[in-house]
Chains A and B, each alone.
Chain A
């Protein structure tokens, strides 16, 4: 395991816009994030907050109508040196080496992320063979078709699949939802990536299975010493898995810092709203307090602070005019809200 504080992924001023029939949609509006080796960074936000788009940008999986800002930087610090993913040509060999090699990714819907017409093993071995060189550097073993299959079986076993020798030749529809997500994790981890991007990996699963998968991911993270970028809309999941978190709203990061601190004492009104909307067993009789209103359409971004349209502490004349900048709260925390900025004091 590398040093705990070593930088792995550095996102700087990432902006993503989509050209649509209705006009330009600004999905991610200049965010900066840092993921460290062996640590998990959680990104929370509602649908439409841009969290998925931001992580897809890291893998360069955005559709053709998406455009990265000129100054966007996605720096991956590898042992061989750093590389700017944002600057790689779309079909370059370097990019393909990163995808599935240095960076693994798992998706929200385990059923849809496997092709129905190939066996689990087929889709797994394909990835292992594609990253032969990378795995040789990592494990000191060069795989051929047969040893790749053995490696795949070992990985399926490692993620807790019963009877992996049978499972490897089964089709995705023959596995249960939880098993499929385990298989997906096995595929992503079979190439020993240094960064795992998990896009709502537990959202589509039952709560009990969800807990199992989270435990498994934590365990594997420790074992492989990889960093995780964990996207979810579920504060409970974040609290469980991420050391650090960032809260996104309408393409911007409104609050960030150590998870424990933020959950204990949320600063941004939006973060407070998210936490208050969580069902809690000890207050089961009380009604939940949801964040009022809906997330605005990214086609009509509000002026000023993007959250002011729903904010309970909205200050007219300030919040709807001036975009709040990040304010350092100490101990690694920062918030983008006028309540904490110089304007408020």
Chain B
């Protein structure tokens, strides 16, 4: 097991190395650099004429004149040694400071959404498989496909409207107005959870729809396996037969796609965040690319991929723990 963990961990580091190079290439891809943008911002409309030499000076000031490999090494060196993701040009501070709170919120939202997805899809999928072709099964399928069919922003808008119109609560943003400036307290935390719940539901709905069908299909397959009858023939109570035997195997495909789900949620997050005005990373990523604020964009990309790579690592380990047929050596 230890060897397996070490192997997978090394694999993770190697992956991240290549990802960092790719991210850096992406950062370099947009035409122009921040020096042009800075000069344009600072001096356009002021009547000051900007020469090529002035821009060259700004470029030097930001360190953008050095060759790419040198900038990559400085950048990655800072991340690895000091967890410093470089400067943010647009905000005139460090990338860390810009990302800071948003990163926390994104991770909380991601983990919350994943938990909600699994808490809903696994038991419901198992139940639907046990009651195949019943009214409950069809009902659940319809509801879950609704989540898949309705675009996320639409769902977010509907939930936003419903909660404001009928429950009189504001679920846009992170906090209710009265807690906006308040110091951290239990009440403020609960308020935060309330605000995160709706976006989590919006994001979890479509993921749940997919996973629910996966669980239902796997569970239906497993229920027909001979070992289920064999367990019944040993005289186990029905609930124990179901939970210990087919249900245990029905969650395997779910576990193996945790990374995939995380990726999906990340891709859908910006739109939902935009509608619900949540300060999260996806929106910042788009903005930073528009502003050519490269280090912020790079930091976000790197963090998102790191989280997905880590999720895959976790799902590998959990799967190996769940299924003894997976060989821990090699592979």
Contact = CB atoms under 8 A, between A and B. Distances in A.
B229 to A, nearest CB: 5
B249 interface: yes
B248 A130 contact: no
B325 A112 contact: no
Interface stretch (A29-37, A101-109, A266-274, A329-337): A101-109
A301 interface: no
Contacts of A126: 234, 236
Contacts, number: 75
Interface string A84-97: 00000001000011
B325 to A, nearest CB: 6
B323 interface: yes
A101 B232 CA distance: 12
A130 B234 contact: yes
Contact of B325 (A59, A97, A98, A173): A173
Nearest to A61: B229
The listed residue with most A CB atoms (<10 A of its CB), out of B227, B245, B249, is B227
Interface in B225-259: 225-227, 229-238, 244-245, 248-249
B246 to A, nearest CB: 9
Contacts of B323: 116-117
A249 interface: no
Contact of A100 (B225, B233, B244, B245): B233
Contacts of B232: 59, 61, 99
Interface in B192-241: 225-227, 229-238
A123 to B, nearest CB: 8
Nearest to A184: B230
A97 B238 contact: no
B235 A91 contact: no
A97 B236 CA distance: 9
Contact of A117 (B231, B236, B237, B249): B249
A156 to B, nearest CB: 16
Interface in B46-89: none
A187 interface: yes
A99 B238 CA distance: 12
Contacts of A114: 227, 230
A105 B233 CA distance: 6
Contacts of B230: 105, 107, 113-114, 184
Given A171-B324, A173-B325, A130 B235 contact: yes
A60 to B, nearest CB: 9
A184 B231 CA distance: 11
Given A117-B323, A171-B325, A173-B325, A97 B227 contact: no
A100 B230 CA distance: 9
Contacts of A185: none
Nearest to A102: B235
Interface of B: 225-227, 229-238, 244-245, 248-249, 322-325
17 contacts: A61-B229, A61-B233, A96-B235, A96-B237, A99-B235, A100-B234, A101-B235, A107-B233, A112-B226, A112-B227, A113-B227, A113-B229, A113-B230, A115-B244, A115-B245, A126-B234, A173-B324
Give 3 nearest A-B pairs by CB, closest first.
Answer: A100-B235, A112-B226, A100-B234
Given A117-B322, A173-B324, 6 more contacts: A59-B233, A96-B236, A107-B233, A109-B226, A117-B324, A130-B234
